[in-house]
Structures are given as C-alpha cells and as structure tokens.
A = this chain, B = another copy of it.
Amino acid sequence: MRSDRPLQGVIVLEFCQYLSGPLAGLRLADLGARVIKIERPDGGDAGRKLAIKDLWIDDNSLLFHTINRNKESFTADLKKKEDLELVKKLIRKADVMTHNFRPGIMTKIGLDYNLVKEINPSIIYGEISGYGKEGPWKDKPGQDLLIQSLSGLAFTTGNAGSNPVPFGLAIADMICGNHLAQGILAALYRRQKTNIGALIEVSLMESLLDFQFELLTTYYNGGGQPKRSRVNNGHSLLSAPYGIYKTADGYIALAMMPVTVLRNVIQCSSLDRFEDQDAFIKRDEIKSIIEECFTGHTTGYWMEKFIEKDIWAMPVMNWKELINHDAYKKLRMEQGIERAGEKILTTTRCPIRFDDEILLSAKCAPSLGEHTGVISKEILEYQGV
C-alpha cells in the first residue's frame, strides 16, 4: 500500500456476539483497526459454540472463526466490580466501542453511552438493536428471519402463489453490520477534524427497510404492493423475461431486454404475437412460453447465441462451478488464515480494494481471553490480572 491501512492506530472494543456486530468489527479490522473482543470468561461470544454442519476449528466453530479472524480477545466479567474497572480503563484508551445487546442491558451494566462518554468524551459508540430503542418491538428477538418476515422483504422473492420466500442467508445482520461500520467511519472522520465523539445507532429492521428503499418508495407513492410473477419471478417491478430459466442441463438468467429482440435470438415463434409494451402486463404468459422454449437445449447452446448477439444473459452457477472459473480465480477472493504459521482455514477477504491492493489478514480468531494479559500490560500499563 502507498501508506498504512486506513484505520491504522484505531482501537475498537467489541462487546458483540453472533454476526451483525462482529461483522462490523471484521470490516474495521481488515481496514487496519485493532479490534478487541470483550468477552465473558465463561464461554465468551456465544458464536464460538454456534456450529453449522458440525464444522469446528479447535474448540470454536468455523463460523466463529470466519467472523472473528483478525481480532483479539480480552475476558472480563462485567458484573464484577474489578473487571468493570479494568474495562473502563480500556475504554479510556479506545477510539470506538460497539455492542449488540438488547436495549437496556448496557445501562444495567453501567456502560451505556451517557456513562461511557463521561469516561471518554471523544469515543465513538456504536450500537445495534433489532428494532431500535423504542416502540412495541424493542424487546423482541433481533433475529434475521423474523425481521425479514416483518419488513415485507419475504414478499419480494419467489413466485406469486408460493409462500413468501426468505433470503437464504442472514441478510439483516449483513446489511446492518455494514451500516454500523459506515456510521463509525463517518464519525471517525468527523472526530479527526473536530475531536468530537459520536453515538451511532443502527437496527436490523431499519437496515432492511433501507435495503428496500426503491421498492418502498414505489409503494409510498402509489405503486401498490409488489406483484411477484407466477413464473420464474426475478424482481416484482420488472418485465418479462427478467428471471432464471431451466435449460436441458442447467439454468440461465435473463436480465432486461426487449421481448422482440429475445424472440429473434432464440427463434421462438410463439412470442410473435407479443409487442415490447406487453412485457409487463403479460409477464406471466410471456415467461411461460420462454420457459418451455428453454428446456429444449443446453445452457451452452443458448449462451453461444446470447454471446454472439450481446444479450444480457448468464449461466446460473453453483459454488463449485464458480470457484473453478478463471474469472473467479482472477479476483483472488480467498485467503488462508493461520495459527502459529500453519494454515487452519480458507475464507474470503475484505471486498474493498485500497490503492490497487487487496487487503489480506492471515491472523486467526483469538481463543477466549488469548490477549487479556498482553492487553492489560500494553494498553492499561497494568501488571498482572
């Protein structure tokens, strides 16, 4: 890099569990910050024990390792006075702290923003909740699928006639973690100019509402509820052929294009009776015809025609196909994560390129309390815990 990583020297204390908060911390860490997880001595971040497909690295889940690489761990029992005092000393030295506890918990502990800014007035304090601090949902579980379902998002995906379809990953956590990182970064910039700290609040619900800003604005202004197509729905507001189609040996995605152009390329005479202006109102009818047509040939057969005519179409790939593709390899999205010089897992890297370089960080997730001693000495100038 032409210089240090952008957040070099920034100290972040992460009082977070599971995905949303730790994702914000991961992003800040990859951008150069020193991120210290503050964890309960008995078990720490509950994400350590959340395994999927029973995949573990040492005694922590692969999932925990994925989200918490490139961080340190400091254990403290916030209910014990002496531990809390130690954490307060840490807070004095920190630039940022984040938490994703339910509303009220940090006040009970004595570490809400109003209390913390007395200790460190220029701190940037980031918090994630499920639904904000007020209102009838404030104490409801801030869980991804539930918030997808409440926010209307599930009604955008899948075919009309089918159940609403949830997104197959933790979208609210992902988007909200990104929003928290953004707010913190903006506040760091302001603080560098003015020495003023900030309180940054985001919630899973508000993040999913923002995520739907195009669709919601359409609704607010008289566009009505989303109407998913009955056939191969791609986007409730877009015309045929937009969607994914089965071929003889796989699937093809078709983006926006005039129906009249498509019918010439695929030589489908059943489409002759449609004009381009029918593409929205007769969407299901047109899509059904295209669907039938596509099953007659392979993805390769169709893609050859589409590439020749510069049509916006692509094969639908699974991860195996993707990862073996030269275009994927060229991106160098993978990185090895190491413990004591040995590679222990492979994961993705930070998606942001800085000064023509990718940001890699091989440092693995910390074991619980791994850095308590070092941090006590280094940051607190405090000998022995």
**A residues bordering B, Cβ < 8 Å?**
2-4, 6-8, 19, 27, 31, 52-53, 55, 62-63, 65-67, 131-132, 134-137, 140-141, 143-146, 148-152, 154-158, 163-170, 174-175, 178-183, 185-190, 192-194, 196, 198-203, 205-207, 209-226, 228, 232-238, 242-246, 251-256, 312-320, 322-323, 326-327, 329-331, 333-334, 345-348, 350-356
Contact between B132 and A253, CB atoms less than 8 A apart = no
Note all chain B residues with C-beta closer than 8 A to A157.
Answer: 157-158, 165-168
Note all chain B residues with C-beta closer than 8 A to A144.
Answer: 255
Contact between A255 and B146, CB atoms less than 8 A apart = yes
Note all chain B residues with C-beta closer than 8 A to A251.
Answer: 149, 154, 163-164
Note all chain B residues with C-beta closer than 8 A to A223.
Answer: 52-53, 55, 62
Given contacts A154-B316, A157-B157, 20 further A-B contacts (CB under 8 A): A4-B194, A8-B190, A55-B223, A62-B217, A65-B217, A66-B214, A67-B214, A132-B330, A146-B313, A148-B253, A149-B315, A151-B322, A178-B179, A181-B182, A183-B352, A187-B354, A198-B355, A219-B319, A225-B318, A225-B319
Interface core residue of A8, A158, A228 (most chain B CB under 10 Å): A158
Note all chain B residues with C-beta closer than 8 A to A189.
Answer: 6-7, 185, 188-189, 192
Closest to A320 in B: B225
Q: Output the least CB separation between A190 and chain B (Å).
A: 4
Oligomer: number of copies: 2
Note all chain B residues with C-beta closer than 8 A to A192.
Answer: 189, 192-193
Given contacts A165-B165, A166-B244, A213-B347, contact A206 B53 (CB under 8 A): no
Q: Output the least CB separation between A94 and chain B (Å).
A: 16
Q: CA A246 – CA B355 in complex, angstroms?
A: 50
Note all chain B residues with C-beta closer than 8 A to A217.
Answer: 62-63, 65-66, 345-348
Contact between A145 and B234, CB atoms less than 8 A apart = yes
Contact between A146 and B253, CB atoms less than 8 A apart = yes
Contact between A243 and B136, CB atoms less than 8 A apart = no
Q: Output the least CB separation between A193 and chain B (Å).
A: 6
Given contacts A316-B164, A346-B217, A352-B183, contact A222 B150 (CB under 8 A): no
| Other-chain contact of A210, B319, B320, B351 (Cβ < 8 Å) | B351
Given contacts A3-B196, A146-B253, A255-B146, contact A207 B351 (CB under 8 A): yes
Closest to A24 in B: B182
Closest to A351 in B: B210
Note all chain B residues with C-beta closer than 8 A to A53.
Answer: 218, 223-224, 237
Q: Output the least CB separation between A219 and chain B (Å).
A: 5
